[in-house]
Amino acid sequence: MSMATDRLRGLWPPRTLFMRLSLIFVAGLFAAQTLSFWLTMTERNEATMHVMVGYIGQEVTSSVALLDRLTPAEREEWLPKLARRSYRFVLGPGTRGMPPDAKLSQEIGASIAKDIGPQYKVTANAIPGESEHLEVHLTLSDGTPLTIDMHPMHGIPLSPWLPLVLIAQLALLTGCAWLAVRLATRPLDRLARAADTLGPDLAPDALPEDGPEEVARASKAFNAMQARIGIYMRERLQILAAISHDLQTPITRMRIRADLLDDEAERARLQKDLKEMELLVREGVAYARTLHGADEQPRRIDPDALIESMVSDYTDAGDPVSLTGHVGRPVTTRPQALRRILGNLIDNALKYSGHEAVTVEVSVDASRGRQVTVAVLDRGPGIPQELLDAVFQPFYRVESSRNRETGGTGLGLAIAKQLAQSMSATLTLRNREGGGLEARLTL
């Protein structure tokens, strides 16, 4: 019961604008159709009732006049002939009761009394029962009591084809409403996709500036906005790349001067600082290049061969890296970007595993349709849950475990994230049960 309730809560309210507008239009059309049908049937029934009441009054008047002129023996023969579906004639006083309280019974009784005229004293009373039942009493000229036993009919039977026509009409209106909502929400969906494609390459496809005036104006504004964002980002990235590149020359001169120092301890400390600076500059240039966009074109590769060669390179270098699973089919991707992402993830895993005997596992899974998942798992200290997204920011470190003593620059995961976005992949982190971190790349 709880699972069903949770499932219903997940479906309501509808998550998409398309579903919400469709629901509003369909519900409104259904309500309008229902109200229109009810009003039409009510007016039809009232008009028919008025006609029926007048018709009954005239028919009963003619029948009473005929019975009044017949002999008692002839009246018994004519009673079945004068009977109708909603009333019949009975020779006798009938059943006495309360005056009719139903509107239809009152109208029928009044119509009969009016049409018969003052010649006969007419009285009417209701007969208790589940359905509306009326008896009209009068006395013929020879003193014979006559009772008109009436069962008024409410409403008019519907034609069997009418519900089908109403359903077809509602289905047609629902289809028109769905098409209208689809046409109205399609530009929003196109706008959302364009915003999603505004990735690290800063070169998204421009939206077509056609359609209704409001849609064309929104598309034009979005194209202008993303063009300005691209200009601003390229300017800042050019500054970052220029600074990082120009710093390499003074760092090289400082390394040469450091080599000429006579104090070995001072020379070692200075060379260590220069090495960290050089690493930071190199990573800064790499990060700027990934933000500038990937010039590498996607191509069809064998992912198993690429991953196996990377793992073999690490094992040949003495690093504890293992591989499980395989893809088993070619994929279309950017191989150099994929190699750089996996290299950064494996390097991080080796760096923070905490023990040389702990093996870093590379797990490959291609069982989910067209998706290929490559996970790098370690048994390091992990990352606090609230910082799993923050570590993708450039130059961000988790000081409790991943500090400067480990040699990190804070750009490895940022570069991997940018490259993953440029190849339409997703990179996520999560802590493992029992300790450690899992970096999952989904192609």
Q: What's the pLDDT at 219?
A: 81
- Top-confidence residue, 101 or 228: 228
Q: Angle at Cα 118 formed by Cα 114 and Cα 119, nearest 5°?
A: 120
Q: Is residue 248 located within the same domain as residue 306?
A: no
Share of the chain above pLDDT 90, in %: 5
| Mean pLDDT, the chain, whole residue set | 78
Q: Is residue 23 located within the same domain as residue 136?
A: yes
Task: Assess whether pLDDT exceeds 80 at residue 395.
Answer: no
Query: Per-residue pLDDT averaged across 375-388, rounded?
Result: 86
CB atoms within 10 A of CB 89: 21
Q: What's the pLDDT at 181?
A: 79
Q: Is residue 192 located within the same domain as residue 203?
A: no
Task: Assess whether pLDDT exceeds 80 at residue 347.
Answer: yes
Q: Is residue 419 located within the same domain as residue 323?
A: yes
Residue where one domain finishes, among candidates 240, 265, 293: 293
Q: Is residue 2 located within the same domain as residue 141?
A: yes
Q: Is residue 234 located within the same domain as residue 288?
A: yes
Q: Is residue 178 located within the same domain as residue 70?
A: yes
The answer to whether the CB of 177 falls within 8 A of the CB of 185 is no
Q: What's the pLDDT at 308?
A: 92
Q: Sign of the C-alpha dihedral, residues 103, 105, 108, 111?
A: negative
- pTM of the predicted protein model: 0.49
**What residues form DSSP beta bridges with 146?**
91, 138
Task: Assess whether pLDDT exceeds 50 at residue 402.
Answer: no
- Confidence label for 407 from pLDDT (cuts 50, 70 and 90): very low
Q: Is residue 116 located within the same domain as residue 28?
A: yes
Alpha-carbon distance of 221 to 227, in angstroms, equals: 10
Closest CA to 395 of 381, 380, 409, 384: 409
Task: Assess whether pLDDT exceeds 80 at residue 404.
Answer: no
Which residues are within 8 A (CB) of 326 and not within 5 positions of it... i.e. 6 or more apart? 304, 364, 366
Residue where one domain finishes, among candidates 259, 277, 293: 293
Q: What's the pLDDT at 364?
A: 92
131-166: pLDDT as tens digits? 777 788 888 888 888 888 877 766 566 677 777 887
What CATH number is given to the structural domain containing 224? 1.10.287.130
Q: Is residue 162 located within the same domain as residue 212?
A: no
**Residue 88: what are its φ and ψ, rounded to 5°?**
-150, 160
Place of tokens 């469709």: 22
Query: Per-residue pLDDT averaged across 42-52, rounded?
Result: 72
Alpha-carbon distance of 270 to 210, in angstroms, equals: 62
Q: Is residue 189 located within the same domain as residue 266?
A: no
- Confidence label for 127 from pLDDT (cuts 50, 70 and 90): confident
Query: Per-residue pLDDT averaged across 1-24, rounded?
Result: 63
What CATH number is given to the structural domain containing 429? 3.30.565.10
Residue where one domain finishes, among candidates 196, 225, 257: 196
The total number of structural domains in the chain stands at: 3
Q: Is residue 229 located within the same domain as residue 354?
A: no
- Top-confidence residue, 415 or 52: 415
Domain containing 363 equals 298-442
Q: Is residue 171 located within the same domain as residue 244?
A: no
Q: What's the pLDDT at 375?
A: 92
